Amino acid sequence: MRDLGFLLWRGDWLQRNREEALGWFYEAAVRNDAPSMYMLGQAFERGEGVAADPKLAAFWLGRATERGYRGGAHR
């Protein structure tokens, strides 16, 4: 799920679609995938593919951090 999200997010081999990518990140995040939680947090923080939402950004970034993910490896 996360890998498909990254392909859609970046437009690698698939047409770039940030909204659909976030759907795949969400599906992975609710299954405890920390990099996907981080991507959701970044998207909500920056308003990329979704409306900016500081509370949701803090929620997802906090969950990723709780699982030991520091971010940046998949950007």
**Residue 18 is which amino acid?**
R
pTM of this prediction exceeds 0.75? yes
- Give the rounded distance of the alpha carbon of 15 from its chain centre: 17
- Residue-wise pLDDT for 24-65, tens only, equals 999 999 999 999 999 999 999 999 999 999 999 999 999 999
**6 has pLDDT over 80:** yes
**Residue 70 is which amino acid?**
R
Residue-range domain boundaries for the chain: 2-49
